[in-house]
Amino acid sequence: MRKYLSLVVILAVILLTALVSLPALAKPESFEIGSYKVSYDLNSTSEHNISIAKPRYSETFGGIMYVGYGAQVISAEAHFLITIAIIEYKYPILLEPSTGATNKLLSENSDCRDVVTVRRNIDGHQGYITNSSDCRNDTHGFVAQFLLDGQEDSGKTECLIASTYPWENGTSSLLETIHIKRLSGQQK
* pLDDT, block means (10 residues), the chain with 188 residues: 45 40 58 93 82 92 90 83 92 72 57 77 89 70 87 84 87 93 74
Whether the CB-CB separation of 33 and 84 falls below 8 Å is answered with yes
Taking CA 186 as the corner, what is the angle to CA 54 and CA 181, rounded to the nearest 5 degrees? Answer: 80
For residue 44, CA distances in Å to 20, 21, 25, 92, 151 come to: 19, 19, 7, 36, 34
Q: Where are the domains of the chain?
A: 25-182
β-strands 81-94, 154-163 pairing: antiparallel
Beta strands per DSSP E along the chain:
29-33, 36-40, 48-52, 56-59, 65-75, 81-94, 114-122, 125-133, 141-147, 154-163, 179-182
**Residues in CB range of 28: below 8 A, 6 or more apart:** 39, 40, 41, 177
| pLDDT for res 72 | 92
| pLDDT for res 136 | 67
- Measured CA to CA, the distance from residue 117 to residue 105 in angstroms comes to 13
3-state helix, strand, coil in the chain (%, to 5): 25, 45, 30
- Measured CA to CA, the distance from residue 118 to residue 116 in angstroms comes to 7
| pLDDT for res 100 | 55
How much is the pTM?
0.76
Instruction: DSSP letter for 83, please.
Output: E
3-state secondary structure of 162: strand
Q: Report the top-level CATH class of 25-182.
A: alpha beta
- Measured CA to CA, the distance from residue 129 to residue 123 in angstroms comes to 12
